[in-house]
Amino acid sequence: MTAITAVTSQNTNGVKSIVPIPPKEILNQIMFTSKDIKPDAIKIGMLHSTKVIEHVIKSLDRIKIKKIVLDPVMVAKGGAKLIDNKAIKLLKLKLINRATLITPNIPEAEILTKVKIKNIEDMILAANKLLEFGAKNVLIKGGHLNSKFVQDAFVNKFDIKIFKSHRHKTKNTHGTGCTLSSAITTFLSCGKTIKKSCELGIKYVNFAIKTNPNYGKGHGPINHLNTMSISRKFR
């Protein structure tokens, strides 16, 4: 089930406009669908204003779902800012501490923590700062670093795990972050542990990038209909 928070006019080259949905209607979407089909897990994406964040928090208080994956979407692939500063502040104060997992990319982690990230050690430092904000688990996505392999850093108070993936030479990576957080939430809802959900989600997105359909003149979409094999230990 999906609650739409904004309608965007965009293509593979960038975002032309963003039209927000009224916060009350976002709350109505969440409450009315959850009343019919109670979710096992929730993924939270773009929340563009303080009012939207406040209404989402209100809905979380009512439906009481414990498995929450927060993808703090702040900047579009083309560089357009998608969230204002007041909303970022409220996200840090009131929403991060409710999340089972937060999945920022490097620019988002830098905005949230004020840490300049140049390597994997900086990613771990930023992740620990996010834990201080109240996040239970953090997955910082390393795709923005210029390296042969993509390294994603999973960190909580007890564990640090670096997931290493091949970097595919393609500009068609539109939607990778949103897809990853959604995939992790899906695996989490099926009963996988948070770390295994991250591992499987990363694997799914890696296959989706590898098999992208090569659409558009800019950053084209990845292939959500990809097939990946899952070894027996994950089943």
pLDDT confidence of residue 83: 78
Instruction: Confirm whether 164 is domain-assigned.
Output: yes
Distances (CA, A) of 18 to 108, 142, 220: 19, 27, 19
For residue 70, give the amino acid letter: L
C-beta separation of 211 from 224 below 8 A:
no
Contact 190, 183 (CB under 8 A): no
- From 45, 143, 175, 220, active-site residue: 175
- Which of 50, 103, 53, 108 has its CA nearest to residue 77? 108
The count of residues in the chain is 235
Task: Please check whether residue 198 lies inside any domain of the structure.
Answer: yes
Confirm whether 176 is a catalytic residue.
yes
Between CA 110 and CA 145 the distance in angstroms is 13
Query: What is the CATH number for 76?
Result: 3.40.1190.20
Whole-prediction pTM: 0.92
Question: Of 178, 203, 216, 218, which residue is the catalytic one?
Answer: 178
pLDDT at 80: 62
Inside any domain, residue 130 = yes
3-state class (DSSP) for residue 216: coil
Between helix 194-210 and helix 176-189 the angle, nearest 10°, is 140
Mean of pLDDT values over 174-178? 89
Residues 8, 31: contact at Cβ < 8 Å?
A: no
Q: Are 117 and 107 in contact (CB under 8 A)?
A: no
Query: Would you say residue 234 has pLDDT above 60?
Result: no
pLDDT bracket for residue 218 (50, 70, 90)? very high
Overall average pLDDT of the 57-69 stretch: 95
For the chain, percent of residues with pLDDT exceeding 70: 94
Active-site residue (options: 113, 173, 185, 186): 173
pLDDT for 228: 74
Judge whether 56 lies within some domain. yes
Residue 1 maps to a domain: no
For residue 139, pLDDT beyond 60:
yes
- Return the pLDDT at 220: 92
Write the pLDDT tens digit of every residue in 158-169. Answer: 999 999 998 888
Residue 210 confidence (pLDDT) above 80: yes
Please tell me the predicted confidence (pLDDT) of residue 18.
83
Look up residue 38 and give its two tokens. 């109670």
pLDDT computed for residue 231 by the predictor: 66
| Active-site residue, selected from the candidate residues 45, 142, 143, 177 | 177
- Write out pLDDT tens, residues 193-204: 999 999 999 999
Q: What is the pLDDT of residue 78?
A: 58
For residue 177, indicate whether it is catalytic.
yes
Parent domain of 125: 6-234
Residue 58 lies in a domain: yes
Q: Is residue 112 part of a domain?
A: yes
User: Is 178 tagged catalytic?
Assistant: yes
Whole-number pLDDT of residue 57: 95
**Neighbouring residues of 17: CB distance < 8 A, sequence distance ≥ 6:** 8, 9
Residue 162: its H or E element: strand 160-166
Q: How many domains does the chain have?
A: 1
Task: Evaluate whether residue 156 is within a structural domain.
Answer: yes
